[in-house]
Every structure is written in structure tokens, then in C-alpha cells.
């Protein structure tokens, strides 16, 4: 059965400077909040993390974090508003899609919206030359999944050569949808175990398993892709696959104010980060 083509839409393209984890999560929250009040616009955002940051899923216990290791390495950590497991954000392109629940691109349940949005991810990666990317709806669960997000692909998450490449998570609130995810561009994805509270023996075994299940773009393509080039290709992919016209624009003054509020009152607080 052929799917009905998506109607045209206009979204903002927002590329923000590198920021710490609390700021990045606060910006996503602010954009969603402003849109829910009729003071924002549907947005495709690309961003980076500086310094590297370990993010926990909404319901993940904070004791999964090795606090001493984070401090020693100069990393930060934060709790996401979305579910899933821990991700170490470094050497990557992170995306977020923020739109209304009435947008046909995210209509239906979470899995159905994953399927539609994955079309944009696939198209962008194919433009970069990763022609073997896939997003399947029948991914098997990993019964031994641990604290790290990239242990196993979920439904309609993107794989390349059979390994997980893009990890995504979603939250629905105030009739809005926020989906964000990470595309590791390069580097050693097993570094996450340096900042998770697991034994040395566990780290060795977990690192081996992770390398068998997940990958980076550079590892599969044999060359590095810059953040700017990846962002340009992914924007093109979303635009073509989802029939959206992307117009570059910065945060509004109201969104910036909200982001500062959420950073101070939520994403830097123990009440939020240690809530589980």
C-alpha cells in the first residue's frame, strides 16, 4: 500500500553553537514550550556538546553515572526529558525535531512517528554516501541491555551495515512532540564505559559487545565527515523526505529566556538530575 504523500510544511532550521549538556536540553525544552504557547515554530535543530556530556534517560537511575570519572575527565552529565539509556555525547551530530502532535509527520504512536522521521535521517545519510543505511520496524530486543543506549537498535532506528548508527528518543507533552537523537561521527564509542558505574571486567566485556552492535559514520565509511557537512546533508534529507521547507533562524528572545530558566531551574539541579 502506497502511503499518502506528506503535505508541505515550513519549519525553522536551527543550528546552535556548542554548549554544555544542561544548556542543550534546556534549549530543546524551551523550543517545545514556546511552540505549545503559540510563540514558536516547528523546528529541526542540530547541535554539539562542549564539554563531552553523559546524558541519562528520563527514568534511568543516576547511580549509573561514575561521578568521579566524569569529574576526572572533565565531562558533565545531565538527565534528558526523553526516555532510553545513557549516551556519551562527543564527536557527534545531535538532532532534534520539535513539532505539534497534529503534524502528520508525527501522527499516531511513537513507533509510527519514528518510522516517518527516520526517512529524513536515511535520506540525509544517503546524501553523505552511506547508501546501506536502513531503518527496520522489527528489531529484536537485547535481553542483556545495560546502561548504554547503543546496546541494541529499537524500532525504526537507523543502522548501517547491520550496526546501530543513530539513537533516538521521544517525549510527548502539551500536545507537542520532541524527538532528538545522536549520530556518532567518529571516535571510540566504548568511551561511554569510562563514565558508567561498572567494574573494570564489565567494561571490557561491554565494550566488546558494543563494538559488535553499534558504530560510527567514520568507521563504516572509512573517512571523517565534519559536523557542518553532516548537518547540511541531514537538513537536505529531512527537507526532501518529509516535504518541509527549512528556513534558517535563531532562537527568539522568548525562547532564549525560557532556555535560561530551564537550565537554571531544571537541568542543573539535583532535583531533576537525581530524581531517580
Q: Which residues belong to the active site? A: 149
Dig out the grid coordinates for 175 from the structure.
Answer: 500536545
Count CB neighbours of 228 within 10 A: 11
What is the C-alpha radius of gyration for the chain, rounded to an integer number of angstroms?
18
- Antiparallel, parallel or unpaired: β 244-248 and 76-79: unpaired
Dig out the grid coordinates for 7 from the structure.
Answer: 503535505
Distance separating alpha carbons of residues 233 and 124, to the nearest angstrom = 5
Instruction: Starting at the earlier edge strand, list the strands of the sheet with 76-79.
Output: 76-79, 53-56, 87-89
Distance separating alpha carbons of residues 163 and 160, to the nearest angstrom = 5
b/e per residue, 135-169, with b = 16+ CB within 10 A? beeeeeeeeeebbbbbbbbbebbbbbeebbbbbbb
Q: Which residues contact 109 (CB under 8 A, 6 or more apart)?
A: none
Sequence-distant contacts of 111-114: CB under 8 A, at least 24 apart = 111/137, 111/155, 111/156, 113/170, 113/177, 113/179, 114/154, 114/155, 114/156, 114/157, 114/168, 114/170, 114/179
Contact 230, 93 (CB under 8 A): yes
Count CB neighbours of 247 within 10 A: 11
Amino acid at each position: 500500500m502506497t502511503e499518502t504523500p506528506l503535505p508541505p510544511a515550513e519549519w525553522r532550521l536551527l543550528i546552535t553553537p556548542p554548549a554544555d549538556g544542561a544548556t542543550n536540553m534546556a534549549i530543546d525544552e524551551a523550543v517545545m514550550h514556546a511552540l505549545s504557547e503559540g510563540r514558536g515554530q516547528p523546528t529541526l535543530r542540530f547541535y554539539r556538546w562542549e564539554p563531552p556530556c553523559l546524558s541519562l534517560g528520563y527514568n534511568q537511575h543516576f547511580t549509573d553515572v561514575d561521578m568521579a570519572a566524569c569529574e576526572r575527565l572533565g565531562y558533565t552529565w545531565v538527565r534528558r526529558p526523553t526516555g532510553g539509556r545513557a549516551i556519551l555525547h562527543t564527536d557527534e551530530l545531535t538532532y532534534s525535531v520539535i513539532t505539534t502532535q497534529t503534524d502528520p509527520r508525527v501522527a499516531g504512536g511513537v513507533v509510527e512517528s519514528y518510522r516517518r522521521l527516520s526517512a529524513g535521517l536515511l535520506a540525509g545519510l544517503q546524501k553523505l554516501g552511506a547508501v546501506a543505511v536502513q531503518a527496520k520496524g522489527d528489531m529484536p530486543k537485547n535481553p542483556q541491555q545495560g546502561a548504554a543506549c547503543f546496546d541494541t537498535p529499537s524500532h525504526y532506528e537507523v543502522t548501517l551495515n547491520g550496526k546501530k548508527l543513530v539513537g533516538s528518543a521521544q517525549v510527548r507533552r502539551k500536545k507537542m512532540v520532541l524527538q532528538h537523537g545522536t549520530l556518532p561521527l567518529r571516535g571510540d564509542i566504548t568511551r561511554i564505559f569510562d563514565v558508567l558505574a561498572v567494574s573494570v571486567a564489565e567494561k571490557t566485556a561491554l565494550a566488546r559487545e558494543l563494538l559488535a552492535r553499534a558504530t560510527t559514520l567514520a568507521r563504516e565509511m572509512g573517512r571523517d565527515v565534519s559536523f557542518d557537512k553532516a548537518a547540511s546533508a541531514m537538513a537536505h534529507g529531512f527537507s526532501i523526505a518529509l516535504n518541509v521547507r527549512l528556513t534558517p533562524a535563531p532562537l527568539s528572545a522568548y525562547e532564549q529566556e525560557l532556555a535560561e530558566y530551564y537550565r537554571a531551574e531544571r537541568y542543573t539541579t539535583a532535583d531533576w538530575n537525581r530524581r531517580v
